[in-house]
Structure 1
Amino acid sequence: MNTTILLFLLQDGVTNGAIYALLGLALVLVFAVTRVILIPQGEFVTYGALTYATLSAGNVPGTAKLAVAMGVVAFALDLFMARKSLHRRRVLRALALNIILPVVILALTGWLAGRQTPIAVNIALSLLIVAAIGLFLYRIAFQPIAHTSVLVLLIASVGCHLALQGMGLVFFGAEGQRGPTISDIAFTVGQLRFTGQNIAVYAITVTFIVGLWLFFGYTIYGKALRATAVNRLGARLVGIRTSLSGQLAFLLASVIGAISGILIVPITTLYYDTGFLIGLKGFIAAIIGGLVSYPLTAVAALVVGAVEAFSSFYASNYKEVIVFTLILPVLVLRSLAAPAVEEEKD
């Protein structure tokens, strides 16, 4: 290996690691607030990427229709849960959020389909569609069982992953897709060539890391999320709506996942099930960060990206095995460092 190959591998590792950092941050965010290990995070990546590619091709993505269907179910759940104290204002608010909003998004998507819409418009529509799906996913699948154990929430998360992956096959088919690049600019620094897509990956990752730090440290909603993470019951006692905190966490996670997919799809061909593997690598970074530390998760994601890049060069057939093996020593060390806890008895 010479210096040029080394630099190329490091560049590739940093680019991939930046994507994994975004996903790892989303996983940490959701787990900290809701105790949900968000297995469907990879589906948010796939849905964002393939929705963007479908819109760019001038077609209406099936995810827009899925958002409407999930909104109808969420509206029915809201009415059922509030059946003993139905108020006009509450019904209208649920109707606007669960029915009118996704219908407007679907109508706008259908109106713009086939037109030469700018890339920014397609990106915005993709984010709106996936954000609605993420919001309704929490309302339908996780909010009713928010008080249960982490194991129950994990089982529900796996079920949501399987359901969303199957629907992804229905919506997008088995063929892979690619989307247009965000920017066509390119320049060379020494032996390395940087494209607009690379720069977008770096800039958006740094922006999200800084933005999350400012959001949790200096805003009311961010502090409410932190309070919910520390003590869910205590947060409810001081007037924080924990259901709203969960919805906000899932909304942010779905947007982060969709942005990650939009950044990836111009670089490589994505299939309906590709996001799961990408999400697992973000999960490794989140586990190394202990599912609590945002800076450590970001650093771990860069390490995962670099290991993957060098594994592809030296042992491409075993790169996934090598990457996933990184989690084993971390789990062993955390197990040894954790205090002994007696198993719960029925």
Structure 2
Amino acid sequence: MNTTIMLFLLQDGITNGAIYALLGLALVLVFAVTRVILIPQGEFITFGALTYASLSVGQIPGTIRLAIAMGVVAFGFDLFTARKSLHVKLVLRSLAVNVVFPLAIWAVMLALAGRPANIAINITLSLLIVAAIGLYLYRIAFQPIAHTSVLVLLIASVGCHLALQGFGLVFFGAEGQRAPALSSASVTIGQLRFTGQSIAVYAITIALIVGLWLFFGFTLYGKALRATAVNRLGARLVGIRTSLSGQIAFLLASVIGAISGILIIPITTLYYDTGFLIGLKGFIAAIIGGLVSYPLTAVAALVVGIVEAFSSFHASNYKEVIVFTLILPVLVLRSLAAPAVEDEKD
């Protein structure tokens, strides 16, 4: 291996690591706030990417039908929960968020169907659809069982992953898709050539990390999420709605997943089940960060991306094995540091 190859591999590893960093941060956020290990994060990647690809060729993606159906179910859940004391404002708000919102997105898609839409509109519509799916997913699958054990939440998460993956196969088929790049520009620095897409990956990753830092540090909702992550019971006692915190966490995670998918699909072909494997690599970074540390998760994601790039060059057949092996020493060290763990009480 010469210096040029090493630089190319390092560049590729940092690009992939930036994507894994976003996913790892989303997983840490959701687990800290809701105690849910978000296995469907991979489906948010797939839905965001393939929805964008479908819109790019003038098709109406099936994910909008899923969003409308889930919104109607979520509205029914709200009505059933508040059946003893129905307030007009609450009903109208639930109707607007769960039913009117996805229908409005669908109406915009119908108006744009068959017409050439620019990349910004396609990205915006893709993010809105996946954000709606993430929001409704929490309301339907996790909010009713929010106070159960982590194991029950994990089982529900696995079930959601399998269901959403099946929907992905129905909506997009078994064939892979690609989408146009965000930019066709390129910059050459020395021996390295940076495409517009890779520059977009770096810029958007940094912008999202800075945005999340500002959100958690300086906004009321961000501080409420931090309080919920530290102590759910204490947050409830001071008047913070933990259900709203969970909805915001899932909303942010779904948007981050969709952005990650949109950043990936111009680089490589994505299939309906590709997002699961990508999400697992973000999960490795989150585990290395202990599912609590955002900076450590971001650094670990870069390490995962670089290890993956060099493994693909030296031992491509064992690339995934090498990457997933990174989690073993971390688990061993954590088990040695905390040998006795009490069973969780409901």
TM-score by length of 2: 0.99
Cα separation, 1, equivalents of 2:27 and 2:114? 35
Q: Secondary structure at the match of 1:223?
A: helix
1:146-203 deviation line (CA, Å, top 9, x unaligned) = 0000000000000000000000000000000000000000121000000110000001
Aligned to 1:220: 220
Q: Which amino acid aligns with 1:85?
A: S
Q: 1:342 to 1:239 in 2, by over 3 A?
A: closer
**Other-structure match for 1:109:** 109
Cα RMSD (Å): 1.1
Q: Where does residue 78 of structure 2 map in the other structure? A: 78
Q: How much does 1:114 deviate?
A: 1.3
Residue type of the alignment partner of 1:117? A
Letter in 1 for 2:296: L
Confirm or deny that 1:280 pairs with 2:280.
yes
The residue aligned with 2:169 is: 169
Greater alpha carbon shift after TM alignment, 229-238 vs 333-342: 333-342
Equivalent residue number for residue 254 of structure 2: 254
- The alignment partner of 1:270 has SS state of coil
Decide whether the 8 Å contact of 2:142 with 2:153 is kept in 1: yes
CA apart distance, 1:111: 1.4
**Inter-CA distance 345–163: structure 2 relative to 1 (3 Å threshold):** closer
Which residue identity is paired with 1:7?
Answer: L
Mapped contact 2:149–2:345 kept (Cα < 8 A):
no
User: Following TM superposition, by how much is the alpha carbon of 1:213 offset from its aligned partner in structure 2, in angstroms?
Assistant: 1.2
1:68 paired with 2:65, answer no
| 1:178 corresponding residue in structure 2 | 178
Q: Distance in 1 between matches of 2:177 and 2:298?
A: 28
Segments of 5+ residues of structure 2 without an aligned counterpart are none
Q: Which residue of 1 aligns with 2:329?
A: 329
In structure 1, what is the Cα distance between the partners aligned to 2:207 and 2:307? 24
Conserved? CA contact 2:176–2:269, under 8 Å: yes
Structure 2 CA distance for aligned equivalents of residues 108 and 155 of structure 1: 36
Q: What is the CA–CA distance in structure 2 between the aligned matches of 1:345 and 1:143, rounded to whole Å? A: 19
1:49-78 alpha-carbon deviations (Å, 9 max, x no partner): 000000001000000110000000000000
Moved more, 51-60 or 102-111: 102-111
Deviation at 1:300, TM superposition (A): 0.2
* Residue of structure 1 in register with 2:130 after alignment: 130
What is the aligned partner in structure 1 of residue 232 from structure 2?
232
Q: 1:176 to 1:150 in 2, by over 3 A?
A: same
The answer as to 2:264 corresponding to 1:264 is: yes
SS at match of 1:187: strand
Equivalent position SS for 2:148: coil
User: Could you tell me the TM-score, scaled by structure 1's length?
Assistant: 0.99
Residues 343 and 227 (structure 1 numbering): CA distance in 2 closer, same or farther, change over 3 Å? closer
Distance apart, 1:343 and its partner CA: 4.1
Partners in 2 of 1:342 and 1:129 — Cα distance? Answer: 41
Q: How many angstroms apart in 1 are the aligned matches of 2:278 and 2:297? A: 15
- In structure 2, the partner of 1:38 is 38
Amino acid at match of 1:77: F
- 1:189 is the counterpart of 2:189: yes
Q: How does 1:274-313 map to 2 (within 5 A)?
A: 274-313=274-313
| Structure 1 outlier segments of 4+, above 2 Å | 341-346
Q: Once the two structures are superposed, what CA deviation does each residue of 1:288-343 show, in whole Å capped at 9, x if it has no partner?
A: 00001111000000000000000000000000000000000000101111151344
Cα shift at 1:211: 1.2
Secondary structure in structure 1 of the residue aligned to 2:269:
coil
Gaps of 5+ in 1: none
**CA distance in 2 between partners of 1:342 and 1:179 (Å):** 49
Matched residues, number: 346
